[in-house]
Homo-oligomer: A and B are copies of this chain.
Amino acid sequence: MSATLILHEDPCSGNCYKIRLTAALLGLPLERRFYDIRKGETRTPEFLAHVNANGRIPVLQIGERFLPESNAACWYLADDGSCRLIPTDRFARADMLRWMFFEQYNHEPNVATLRFWLGIIGEAGLSDAQRAAIPAKRTAGDAALALMDEHLAAHAWFAGDSVSLADIALYAYTHAAGEGGFDLAVYPHVTAWLARVAALPDYVAMD
């Protein structure tokens, strides 16, 4: 890989951490540029014009090109022909993407949002609408964790026979779910899988 890789990120974001963890497992150097989403630093005119018109981090910069969406950035890094984090089997590869779409649709909007609201902003800083949305997000987040636990009761990893991007995508906010008030102790297969991910060679922790 010749182009310089720059991660535009907020270190408190699990979506950004996914990319750091993927790069670490692949042995790729990443430059890091920091933004504070609580201060609106990803909504400035300059950020919208030059980094991401969607006003969101993470964005992976590859030379002069910009790639938003955490799971797409992880895919780019791993799509190097080495097959270390993307299965070679056609069904397993699609099944990996299946869990990555599940992560963005069923898991992140609940597990990550409650961590952000309760663990980072704090309940006193929430709007009435946010406070009213907590019970539904609690239920949906627990449903996502229960589905993961059911899968992990019979499988060591989410797709195929070894660690893949699906595990990295789901690990990021699952291992921090306690900060959002989720009780991981009731998901023993999830807990065992979290330990397997953390024991991978070249693993890096979230800041």
Chain A positions near chain B (C-beta within 8 angstroms):
53-54, 62, 65, 67-73, 75-76, 79, 90-91, 93-95, 97-98, 100-102, 104-106, 108-109, 129, 132, 136, 147, 150-151
Interface of A is mostly: helix
Q: How far is the CA of A101 from the CA of B95 in the complex (A)?
A: 15
Contacts known (A54-B106, A79-B94); A101 close to B69, Cβ less than 8 A = yes
Shortest distance between the CB of A31 and any CB in chain B (Å): 18
Q: How far is the CA of A94 from the CA of B69 in the complex (A)?
A: 10
Q: How far is the CA of A150 from the CA of B53 in the complex (A)?
A: 9
Chain B residue at minimum C-beta to C-beta distance from A81: B90
One of B70, B72, B90, B109 near A109 (C-beta < 8 A)? B109
Contacts known (A79-B90, A91-B65, A104-B105); A72 close to B97, Cβ less than 8 A = yes
* A105 and B102 contact, CB distance less than 8 A: no
* A98 and B79 contact, CB distance less than 8 A: no
A-B contact pairs, 24 of them (CB 8 A): A53-B147, A53-B151, A54-B106, A54-B147, A65-B91, A67-B94, A67-B95, A69-B97, A69-B98, A69-B102, A71-B101, A72-B94, A72-B100, A72-B101, A73-B98, A75-B93, A75-B97, A76-B91, A76-B94, A79-B93, A79-B94, A101-B101, A101-B104, A129-B132
